[in-house]
Amino acid sequence: MSRVLDGKWVRDQIQEQWKPRAASLSRQAGLAVVLVGNDPASQIYVRNKEQACQAMGIYSEKITPPDTITTDELLAIIHSLNQREEIDGILVQMPLPKQVDSRAVLLAIRPDKDVDGFHPINVGNLVANIPGPRPCTPSGIIELLKIYEIPMAGKHAVVIGRSDIVGKPMALLLLHENATVTVCHSKTPDLPAECRRADILVAAIGRPAFVTRDFIKPGATVVDVGINRLATPEEQAAIFGENKPRTVIGDVHPVQVVDAAGAYTPVPGGVGPLTIAMLMANTIKAAEAHTVGR
């Protein structure tokens, strides 16, 4: 029987680890979240972040400009937040409206306040394994593997997906844990065969139930980063058959993974909670750096 890797339980462990550090600061850590427009999914994510801040004793501020905002107007907001000493972390919720230059906005955030770890300076620090904020989802996955005592050193890890947010930083973090890492993508020939070599398989491609048992080496650890919604009963039946269906699934087939993997993260309740937990950790670390000597 495969083991379920409970992201909510790991989130709680991470929060308990970081709460004392937040409480020991000379002032309250501060996180500003910029939410442009009224995207329902983004609103849910931001609400969850606000709740996590409250639980951790972090000051949370939400800025909600309209979806008609220009790049220059949004850059002015970022510049203002960069100057405020009580704000340790700045997070711009993606996606942004089409008329906004997302790259310019991310570059405008001060690297020491970039709690998402997306600024090129912080990406360079990740490549060189220099301390700095790490992207929240991949770093949360590393914490999950450590807390469940799943060895990474000397293991073969395969990452499906090469995005700047998950795939690339995930591969680098696994390399820093001394895993041998293969990054796969849409141009990889015989993808199932590559994945079957993995002791640790991380799926981050945004395609529902794409990873079937044919991709999974028996006993492997499977980490499912995907969040996909099944819109129709027919889609649900095609995946779950007579089993109780769900509308939200990941990139890994939720039924077949149970039989094939040695351990796996469920969707929901697996990787998702870890992302926000690591955002809190990054904010507290930034506040510690900002309050030294003050």
Q: What is the pLDDT of residue 294?
A: 56
Report the alpha-carbon angle 194-256-247, nearest 5: 115
Q: What is the pLDDT of residue 243?
A: 79
Instruction: Kindly report the CATH number that applies to the domain delimited by 26-111.
Output: 3.40.50.10860
% of residues, the chain, pLDDT over 70: 99
Name the catalytic one among 15, 88, 93, 251.
Answer: 93
Q: What is the pLDDT of residue 293?
A: 54
**Closest among 136, 42, 165 to 96, alpha carbons compared:** 42
Q: What is the pLDDT of residue 120?
A: 96
Using DSSP, state whether 277 is helix, strand or coil.
helix
* Residues written for the chain: 294
**Closest among 213, 234, 277 to 19, alpha carbons compared:** 277
- C-alpha–C-alpha distance, residues 253 and 212, integer Å: 5
Q: What is the pLDDT of residue 221?
A: 98
The pLDDT tens digits for 201-259 are: 999 999 999 999 999 999 999 999 999 999 888 999 999 988 788 899 999 999 999 99
The pLDDT tens digits for 267-290 are: 999 999 999 999 999 999 999 999
Mean pLDDT over the full length of the chain: 95
CATH architecture type of domain 136-271: 3-Layer(aba) Sandwich (3.40)
- C-alpha–C-alpha distance, residues 287 and 52, integer Å: 16
The pLDDT tens digits for 166-198 are: 999 999 999 999 999 999 999 999 999 999 999
Q: What is the pLDDT of residue 124?
A: 98
What's the average model confidence in pLDDT over 136-148? 98
What's the average model confidence in pLDDT over 79-88? 98
Using DSSP, state whether 257 is helix, strand or coil.
helix
Q: Using the predicted structure, report yes or no on whether residue 1 has a pLDDT greater than 80.
A: no
Query: 184 forms bridges with which residues in the sheet?
Result: 160
Name the catalytic one among 15, 88, 113, 116.
Answer: 116
Q: Using the predicted structure, report yes or no on whether residue 112 has a pLDDT greater than 90.
A: yes
User: Is it true that the peptide bond before 97 is cis, omega within 30 degrees of 0?
Assistant: no
The pLDDT tens digits for 2-29 are: 999 999 999 999 999 999 999 999 999 9
- C-alpha–C-alpha distance, residues 155 and 221, integer Å: 11
Q: What is the pLDDT of residue 282?
A: 98
What's the average model confidence in pLDDT over 72-86? 98
Do 26-111 and 136-271 show the same overall fold? yes
More confident residue, 128 or 42: 128
Burial of 186 (0-12, 13-18, 19+ CB in 10 A): exposed
Residue 228 backbone zone (phi > 0: left; psi -120 to 50: alpha; other: beta): beta
Is 8 catalytic? The answer is: no
What's the average model confidence in pLDDT over 133-156? 98
Q: What is the pLDDT of residue 41?
A: 77
Per DSSP bridges, beta strands 228-229 and 248-249 are antiparallel
Residue 32 backbone zone (phi > 0: left; psi -120 to 50: alpha; other: beta): beta
Q: Which two tokens stand for residue 234?
A: 């027919």
Is 236 catalytic? The answer is: no
- C-alpha–C-alpha distance, residues 40 and 58, integer Å: 24
Domain limits, the chain: 26-111, 136-271
Q: Which residues contact 61 (CB under 8 A, 6 or more apart)?
A: 30, 31, 32, 33, 87
What's the average model confidence in pLDDT over 21-41? 93
Q: What is the pLDDT of residue 39?
A: 79
Check the CA dihedral 102-76-64-66 and report its sign: negative
CA–centroid distance for 194 within its chain? 24
Is 62 catalytic? The answer is: no
Task: Please answer whether residues 90 and 115 qualify as being in contact, where contact means their C-beta atoms are separated by less than 8 angstroms.
Answer: yes
How many angstroms separate the Cα of 85 from the Cα of each of 28, 212, 289? Answer: 11, 49, 12
Q: What is the pLDDT of residue 40?
A: 79
Task: Please answer whether residues 272 and 231 qualify as being in contact, where contact means their C-beta atoms are separated by less than 8 angstroms.
Answer: no
- Read off the amino acid at residue 205: I
